[in-house]
Every structure is written in C-alpha cells, then in structure tokens.
Structure 1
Amino acid sequence: MTATPPPPGPRHPRDLGGAVPDESDPPATSGTATPRSRGRAVPADVVIAALLALLGFALVVQFKASDSDAELTSARPEDLVRILSDLDAQQDRLRREINDLEETRRQLDSGAQSRDAALAEARKRADELGILAGTRPAEGPGLEIGFTPGTERIKSETILDAVQELRGAGAEAMQVNGANGAAVRIVASTYFVDGDDGRLVVDGSNLTAPYTIMVIGGPDTMRTALNIPGGVVDSVRQHGGTVSLREADPVHVTALHNAGELRYAKPA
C-alpha cells in the first residue's frame, strides 16, 4: 500500500529563498494617496493660488503707479502749474459744497425750520441747474476775454481750447459775443465751427471777430490756465493776434440757451 503524500501547505519564506518579514515593519501601501494626504494638499493649492493672485494685483498696481509717475515726471513745469491750479480750484469747490450741504442738513434737522430750509434748498438747486443748463442768467466775479485776429483768423478750435481750459479752471457760466452783436450761451452741448468770410459759427449763430468770452469763475486760476506756455494765449499770438484779459466783478452772463421742448419726458 502506497502512502499518499500530504497536501501542499504554506511554505516558509526561507524555503522560497526570500527574507523573513519583520513584524515591526509597516504594512506596504499602494501608490494611491489616502484621503488624509489629499486633504493636506488642497489647502496648499489654495494658498499658492491666493499668493499668485495677490502678486498679480500688486504688479498691476505698481505698473499703473509707475505710468502715472512717469507722466508727471515728463510733464513741463507749466503743465504741472496748470494741473496744480486745477486741483486747487476743484478742492476749493468741493470744500464749499461740503460746507453748504452740512449747513443744509443742520437746517433740515432743526425741526420747525425744516420745511422752509427744504424749500430754500430746492430753489437754490433749481437756480444752479438753470445756470448750468444755460436757461437762467448769471452774474459773479470773473473775466472778460477778448480775441482779436491778426494775420490769420481766430479759428473755432482756438475758441474751443479756451472754453475747455476755462472749464478745467473752474468756470461756472460762459457766453461768447461777436462784434456783430450776436451772443451765444456756452453749455455742455455747444459746438464751434469755422464759417464763411472768417466768421465763427456757434450753435448755428454766426459771430464776427473780434470775439469776447464772458466767464464767471475764479479770475486768477482762469488767467493762469490761459497763459501757460504753449496754451491759448501763445497760440493766438503766434498768428499775430492778441488776447486781452480783464477782471470784472460782476461779470454778466445774460445770453440764454434754448433747451427745446421735451418729446417724451415730463416733470414727475
């Protein structure tokens, strides 16, 4: 009787030529990261992205500041004087407006005088809007600016440059007069065109030279804006013309702008 060999059982690692595993060694892990390790990586990505965003924002701000500084550095001294004068004029106007608004608030909060103060403020605002729109006359300190042509005519672009300089210097109301007696109120929509026979066309009205701009505002600031080197006064003088600046108090701006009839809107 032949004996049956026993079934193969687990063989010892030594029998396979391998090393005996040490029970103290940690169990082997697969290449897939555990959820815990992925949880540590996400905050790091967020921090890196936030740092990159902040770095980009800082670079943009620095470039913009560098461009602004470069423009001011390359500007001419007379341009810097004009910019400073414009900023001073704007600051003064804002301070006056703040004081007026604070005084109005105090009056409105006073109780018994609130209604009268509200009506007075509404009338004041209506007058100011009427002056800005050119539908009401105005008077106040300012300049009378005369433009007399020389070898060449006074072009429309010269008058437009003068108007823009005056607005930047704080002009509040303006009109332009011609030697033929025509007068046109200057508002935001006013246009200037070179007409026939050396005339100036302003909002469709023909004006003959010499021209006079009546402007209400700070005389010193407006005079400085017009007299900067290479500005309006220099441009007219280079063509043989003259520009006269006369301070007056008050300057009367009486020409009115025809606002036209409203087609769709009506007071609510």
Structure 2
Amino acid sequence: MSSTTPPPPPTDPTRQESGWSRLLEAAKPRANRKTAVATALALALGFAVATQVQATGKQGLESLRTTDLVRILDDQTSRNERLDLETRRLQATRDELVNGSSKDEAAVKAATERLNQLRILAGTVKATGPGITMTITGQPGQVTYPTLLDLVQELRDAGAEAIQIGTARVVAQSYIAEHDGALYVDNTKLTLPYTIKAVGDGDTLQAAMNFPGGIVETIRQQGAEATVTKAPSVLVDALQQPPTDRYARPVPSASPSAP
C-alpha cells in the first residue's frame, strides 16, 4: 500500500508581492514632528563640531576671545614699559661711567701737567722750548758774581721757565758764588766762555738782556762781551739733584668735615 504526499498549495504571486510592499512601507521614515526636530539637532550638532574643529585647527590671535586679546595687549604694554625703564637705567649708568671716566682722565691729565711743571722748576727733568742762548766771552774776573746773579734775576723776571749756566741747572735753591777768581753755580765751577740757556718767550727774554743799562751793557762795561741769540728751540739738559729736607714737612691737608 503506498502513501503519497499531497502537493503544497499553490502560491499566490499577488499576495506575496503585497507582503514585501508592506515591509518596505514600514521601514520608511515617517515625516512627523519628532523626526524634524531630530534632524535639526543633528544638523546643528554637525555644524558645531565642524566649526570647533576648524577653530581648533587654526593658530594665532584670531582664535582668542576679546578679553584674551586685551590681556595680551596689557602684558605687551607692561613689558615695553619695563624694557624702556631698563634702557633708561642702562643709559644713565653708561653716562655716569663716561662722565666719571672723563673726570678721572681730566684729573690725571691736570696732575701730570702739574707734576711736569714742578719737575722743571726743581730741575730734575730736561726742558725744551723757545728761548734764548747767551754767550759771554772775556777774561777770568771780568764778570763778577753779582753781575751773573743779576743776569739770572733778569731772566726770571722776564719769564724764563728753565735756566742753565754752563753745565749747571739753576733752580730756586741755587746760589752763585766766587772763589779764587772763579764763578760757581752751587758746586759747579764755570769756565769761559759762559753759555747761558733759557726757555721762555724769546722776544721778551732777548729784550730783557739788551735793554739800555741792562745786563749786556753792564758786561761790556766790565770788559767782556755778551751775545744774545733768540732760538725757536732751546734744550736745557743739565739736571739738579734735589736736596733732602731734614726739617721741613708738608702740612697735612684738613679733611672735609662731615655734614
């Protein structure tokens, strides 16, 4: 006995198509109020995210707020003021150093000049400059020591700054003496002809020697001859050894009183 399976019922194509249509229709979004609001929020959120990303990607002041820009400007202004103050302070320090250096240099220069003047007066250094050269010729004993002393005094009165007779330097402490018919300046014996050199204004010194009744005329009256020559450069090279003071001491300068 055989059994047979009944065939499946016939399929309705129209009914099957209608089921798929209903499924697709259910999957479609419904255009209602909630959907519209969600879409707007999504668009706003996307715009905000894009804007934030773009702003974050930019570097510079355009990304800062107004308050931040004002703060940065204030900081720059304060920094410029500090730099300007520091610049003025450094300039003042520089000017002080320059002025102080100039004053020190001027003081050193003045002290050096004064020291050189004192050395010339003391006869411890050579001296050169315009002046005169005087030559006295004759016989021993014709020119006396008072005449030679007057000659030195006339030169000093005429402004001679350095004087030399023979090989002797004439300074403030010098003396002129006569011994055994010979003339001496300090401990130096003079020999004829006598040569006198003086540094100073040449015209004045020459006139002081040659004026009527002056030294040249006196020397001639004593039987000797004297010739005065003005020169643009006269070298006084004789040196004097300054004596050591045994008793005299400089008076200490008073210290400035405190205010």
- Place the TM-score, normalised by the shorter chain, in its bin: 0.5 to 0.7
In the alignment, does 2:171 pair up with 1:187? yes
Aligned equivalents of 2:100, 2:140: Cα separation in 1: 66
How many residues are matched? 154
In the alignment, does 2:232 pair up with 1:249? yes
**Residues 149 and 210 in structure 1, CA contact (< 8 A), matched pair in contact too:** yes
Deviation for aligned residue 1:255: 0.9
**4+ runs deviating over 3 angstroms:** 109-112, 262-268
**Residues 145 and 243 in structure 1, CA contact (< 8 A), matched pair in contact too:** yes
2:107 to 118, 126, 143: 118
Counterpart secondary structure, 2:125: coil
**Residues 147 and 210 in structure 1, CA contact (< 8 A), matched pair in contact too:** yes
**Residues 148 and 154 in structure 1, CA contact (< 8 A), matched pair in contact too:** no
Aligned equivalents of 1:139, 1:110: Cα separation in 2: 34
Alignment of 1:187-226 (within 5 A): 187-196=171-180, 198-226=181-209
Unaligned runs of 5+ residues in structure 2 are 1-97, 253-259
Alignment of 1:54-133 (within 5 A): 111-133=100-122
**Residues 132 and 199 in structure 2, CA contact (< 8 A), matched pair in contact too:** yes
**Residues 140 and 249 in structure 1, CA contact (< 8 A), matched pair in contact too:** yes
Give the percent of matched residue pairs that are identical in Structure 1 and Structure 2: 42
Deviation for aligned residue 1:189: 1.5
Return the letter of the residue paired with 1:237: R
Alignment of 1:227-242 (within 5 A): 227-242=210-225
In the alignment, does 2:124 pair up with 1:135? yes
Spell out, residue by residue over 1:179-235, the C-alpha distance to the aligned partner (whole angstroms, 9 max, x if none).
Answer: xxxx11101121111222x32111022111111111001111111111122111111
**Residues 174 and 253 in structure 1, CA contact (< 8 A), matched pair in contact too:** yes
Counterpart secondary structure, 2:132: strand
Counterpart secondary structure, 2:164: strand
Q: Residues 249 and 134 of structure 1: is their aligned pair in 2 closer, same or farther, counting only changes over 3 Å? A: same
In the alignment, does 2:247 pair up with 1:258? no
The CA RMSD measured in Å over matched residues stands at: 2.2
Alignment of 1:144-159 (within 5 A): 144-149=133-138, 153-159=142-148
Spell out, residue by residue over 1:117-161, the C-alpha distance to the aligned partner (whole angstroms, 9 max, x if none).
Answer: 111111111000110111111100000111112595211111111
Counterpart secondary structure, 1:128: helix
Structure 1 stretch displaced more, 148-157 or 199-208:
148-157
Q: Residues 231 and 266 of structure 1: is their aligned pair in 2 closer, same or farther, counting only changes over 3 Å? A: closer
Q: What is the TM-score when the length of structure 1 is the normalising length?
A: 0.53
Unaligned runs of 5+ residues in structure 1 are 1-108, 178-182
Q: Residues 258 and 112 of structure 1: is their aligned pair in 2 closer, same or farther, counting only changes over 3 Å? A: closer
Return the letter of the residue paired with 2:192: A
| Number of the residue aligned with 2:256 | none
Counterpart secondary structure, 2:220: helix
Aligned equivalents of 2:213, 2:250: Cα separation in 1: 46
Deviation for aligned residue 1:169: 0.6
Deviation for aligned residue 1:249: 2.4
**Residues 166 and 222 in structure 1, CA contact (< 8 A), matched pair in contact too:** yes
